[in-house]
Amino acid sequence: LRVLPGCRSDPIVCALETVCRKAEPRYIAVSYTWGDANQVKTIYVNGKPLEVRQNCFFTLWQLRVHRFDLPVWIDSICIDQSNNHEKSSQVRLMGLIYARAELTASCIGE
């Protein structure tokens, strides 16, 4: 997931693309608490609105404000949450995903 540049008050706009792990891409793995499912905000991914939990929104907002240029791996967006097979296979890979990240960013709230 690439968080596109923007000013503090601009909507969060991202580009999501599939990348082969064998290519060993550079990326930031993100660790955060999902938070309350009832507190959502809208971001835009590949031109389409996507509701994310407030904590995910804060995380992406902070990454944009601090101008991290690397793509981001964030589970709630990068894993298709409606596909149980994908979720199961991706969860088994999470240790590897975090181990191969250029760095891990943590977000503890606004």
Residues 37-93 pLDDT 10s: 899 999 999 999 999 999 899 999 988 988 777 899 998 898 888 889 988 888 888
Six-digit token pair at 72? 């981001």
- pTM of the full structure: 0.86
Give the DSSP H/E element, type plus range, for residue 3.
strand 2-3
The alpha carbons of the chain give a radius of gyration, in whole angstroms, of: 13
Measure the CA–CA gap between 102 and 6, rounded to whole angstroms: 23
Least reliable range by pLDDT among 4-8, 48-52, 76-80, 104-108: 104-108
Beta-strand ranges (E) seen in 16-101 are 28-32, 40-45, 48-53, 72-73
Query: Which one is predicted more confidently, 37 or 16?
Result: 16
Give the DSSP H/E element, type plus range, for residue 65.
helix 54-65
